[in-house]
Amino acid sequence: MNKPVLLTVDDDEGVSRAVARDLRRRYGEGHRIVRASSGKDALEALRELKLRGEQVAAMLADYRMPEMNGIEFLEQAMDLFPRARRALLTAYADTDAAIQAINLVDVDHYLLKPWDPPEEKLYPVVDALIELWCDVAVPAVEEIKIVGHRWSAPTFTARDFLARNAVPYRYYSIDEPEGHRLLDAASADPTEIPVVITPDGQALRSPTDAEIASAVGLTVDPETDFYDLVVVGGGPAGLGSAVYGASEGLRTLLVERQAAGGQAGQSSRIENYLGFPDGVSGSQLTDRARRQAVKFGAEMLTARDVTALEVAGSARTVRFGDGSGIAAHAVILATGVSYRSLDAPGVEDLVGRGVYYGSAMTEAAECADRDVYIVGGANSAGQAAVFFARHARTVTLVVRGPSLRASMSHYLVQQLEAIDNVHVRTGTTVVEARGGDHLEGLRLRATDGTEEVVDAHHLFIFIGAAPRTDWLDGLVRRDERGFVWTGPDLVVDGSRPSGWTLDRDPYYLESSVPGVFVAGDVRAQSVKRVASAVGEGAMAVTLVHRYLEER
């Protein structure tokens, strides 16, 4: 924890050194002494301290300074550190100024120069300032800080990115005083939110995920340009591949565009995964898997979007959005699926401002005493309903089908039936989202054509599965929905896929390109369960070994 700061401001170099020396002699063990030669320099120092989350216990400013006198400085300094105690250094002839300062900027004390001996004239005053500050001080904030707005979609994106990557942060709204002070310290304005501030005082204005990842210490650049195995996607299948690949001696790189865990990482509670009879949150499960992969030596790249796959001889090259690439002997595609967009007027405009895809658990506190709507009838929607029921006044599941039982696990259906504030509306669809700067209501339509408008501040969407594999178009065979065909499904009437160069059929999890394997939900006709995804990730590594032995 940083020591609280005692700041002195005086344009006279001799006086400045003397007061800093005397303060350091008495308070140096428990405080950091910072001195400035002008009000402008002192304000700049205070802005840096504010961004780094440090505390200022007291400020001592000389009255007679050019450009900005001590009163003017203290008046502006109060905007940054309102709890810091304040004292004015004055000459005997400036007593009237000291009285003015007390009335204008609530100065706690004034000191007449010279203050010798300090034991009688300086230290008692500073002791009193520190004592006053200790009565009102709040703990220093040394983690990441985000300044934004409740209904700002980019602010939600930044918060969700940090939360899903298990990076601690503290959020400040621009509508609260401390948020405004942080914006001022960062020399930013409300149009530049979110502002992400790192513990070392770096302020990022409207940053991308990649910029945030780099600033908070996540790995965004590979250590080398060639690997034994590149895994694309950090969900359960990808993490399983990374664990088994690295543990079996393959130089392994996992690339994830958002955060480890995929859809499973957003699940509030997974209760049917082998070995966890009491259930486990998706974030806990995937964080353990991530740490396990790193322990075995796997590299993890975050916030890197893969946009192309190239084949040149025995090398398989993965291309990123910035045009750079990395090559490997083999590639495992474990990109999973994303939730399909809800095609209804108003929905797209309100994403991140009351409408969310997935659980968005950072919003849980905001759901207190509100009515929450969840669209979807599969396990992910049921798990979210159980989670938000602990926070919201009511949770309503909006399900297109006639029953939950056809699409949701039996244990989840039983749980939902036992929760009093969870309601299920079957045979119903959302046909419109309404609101200005945030979601305010929904229009629902039943199968019989009747419609109803309901008040809603939160809508969480869990519908369908989109593999988002367009970047593989023309290289890897996919079905009509974009899922990747593998193994026996590629052999039709005894004929191997066109372009196949090996004198054998594709392995069970191998795509139409030799050395490119597929695991998890993105594979055509796969079982959409966490356990099966992990198993396919491990199995894919076994097949990678078999493929490498052929070369």
Top-confidence range, 26-40, 90-104, 260-274: 26-40
pLDDT band at residue 106 using 50, 70 and 90 as cut-offs: confident
Token digits for 420? Answer: 């009093």
Determine the average pLDDT of the residues in 367-371: 89
pLDDT of residue 25: 93
With cut-offs at 50, 70 and 90, classify the pLDDT of residue 490. Answer: very high
Angle of helix 236-247 relative to helix 282-295, nearest 10 degrees, comes to 20
Confidence bin at 395 (pLDDT 50/70/90): very high
Predicted pLDDT at 59: 94
pLDDT beyond 90 at 126: yes
Compute the distance between CA of residue 174 and CA of residue 170 in angstroms, rounded to an integer.
Answer: 13
pLDDT for the residue numbered 23:
93
Tell me what pLDDT residue 529 has.
Answer: 87
**pLDDT of 277:** 86
| pLDDT at residue 261 tops 90 | no
Structure tokens at 77: 């300094």
Options 3.60.20.10, 3.40.640.10, 3.40.50.2300, 3.65.10.10; which CATH number does 5-136 get?
Answer: 3.40.50.2300
pLDDT in tens, 134-160: 887 766 666 899 999 989 999 999 999
CATH of domain 144-215: 3.40.30.10
Give the pLDDT band of residue 101 (cuts 50, 70, 90): low
Listed by start position, the domains of the chain span 5-136, 144-215, 226-338+466-550, 348-461
What pTM, to 2 d.p., does this model score? Answer: 0.81
- Asked whether this chain's domains 144-215 and 226-338+466-550 adopt the same fold, the reply is no
DSSP calls for 108-133: -EEEESP--SHHHHTHHHHHHHHHHH
Helix (H) or strand (E) holding 311: strand 306-312
- Please answer whether residues 165 and 259 qualify as being in contact, where contact means their C-beta atoms are separated by less than 8 angstroms: yes
State which CATH number among 3.10.560.10, 3.50.50.60, 1.10.287.70, 3.40.350.10 fits the domain covering 226-338+466-550: 3.50.50.60
Q: What is the pLDDT of residue 231?
A: 98
348-461 CATH fold: FAD/NAD(P)-binding domain (3.50.50)
102 pLDDT above the threshold of 90: no
194-250 pLDDT, tens digit per residue, is 999 998 889 999 999 999 999 988 999 999 999 999 999 999 999 999 999 999 999
Q: Please, which residues have CB within 8 angstroms of residue 368's CB and are 6 or more apart in sequence?
A: 391, 392
Average pLDDT score over the chain: 91
Distance CA 220, CA 238 (A): 17
